[in-house]
Structure 1
C-alpha cells in the first residue's frame, strides 16, 4: 500500500515510516505541518493516510475531511487515544501512541476494511 504519514514529531514519523516499510508498504510522503498536510491530502495518490491529531497545536481534522472527499481511507495515531477525537471522527480507527509494529499492522487492516 502507498501511505501518507502526517506527523509533526520527526522521530515518530521516521519510526512509522520504518514500521510501514518493514510491513511491505511504501510511504509516499511525510507531512509535518498542517499546511503541508493539507496540500499533500489534496495532491498525493495514496491508499491510506495515518494522521497525528495534534500538529504543533493544530488539529488534523481538515486533512481528514479532504481525504474523506477523495475516498482515501485514513486512521489516527495519537497520544490522546480515542479521547482526542471529535464528533464524526470518533468512528475512525485510532492507534494509541506509543505502539508496536503489530498494532500498526492491525490498524491498517481495520482502516482499509
Structure 2
C-alpha cells in the first residue's frame, strides 16, 4: 500500500446504468488509486457482485433502467459493506428506510464524490 490516497487499494463497487457517468466514476476512483469493481449497469449484475466480491465500499445509482438498487443496498448492509447512493432524486423521494442513507447528488463533482466514498470507510488508526 502506498497510502497516497485514503482510497488506495480499496475495492469499490460501482453500479450505474448511464455509461458516461459510470466512466466518470471509474476514472475518479482510479485517480484516487482505488480498485474499481464493475462498473455494472443492472440490478442483477449488482446483486451478483455485492454477494460474491470482497468489497470495501460501493456506490449505487438508485434507478437502474427502471429497477431500484435497494436490494443491492440491503445485501451490502447485510455484509457490513458501506455504500452510498448516487442519484438525482431528493432524499424525500426515497423510501423511508433509505432516507438516512448517504447520497452523492447527480451531477457529481469528482472531488466531492471521492471524499464521500472515503467518509464511508472507518479511519485506519494503525499501520
Q: With the length of structure 2 as denominator, give the TM-score of the two structures.
A: 0.83
Tell whether 2:102 aligns with 1:102: no
Q: 2:16 aligns with which of 7, 26, 32?
A: 7
How many residues matched?
Answer: 113
* Aligned match of 1:68: 77
Structure 2 Cα separation of the partners of residues 33 and 96 of structure 1: 20
Gaps of 5+ in 2: 1-9, 123-127
Larger Rg: 2
SS in 1 for 2:99: helix
Structure 2 Cα separation of the partners of residues 40 and 73 of structure 1: 14
Which consecutive aligned stretches of 4+ in structure 1 deviate over 4 angstroms post-superposition? none
* Aligned match of 2:55: 46
Quick one: structure 1 residues 81 and 106, their matched pair in 2 at CA, closer, same or farther if it must change by over 3 Å? farther
Superposition RMSD in Å: 1.2
Gaps of 5+ in 1: none
CA contact (8 A) 1:38 1:62 kept: yes
Cα deviation, 1:19-65, whole Å, max 9, x if unaligned, reads 01111211022220111111111111110000000000011000000
* Aligned match of 2:96: 87
Q: With the length of structure 1 as denominator, give the TM-score of the two structures.
A: 0.93
Greater helix content: 1
SS in 1 for 2:55: coil
Quick one: structure 1 residues 112 and 39, their matched pair in 2 at CA, closer, same or farther if it must change by over 3 Å? same
SS in 2 for 1:91: coil
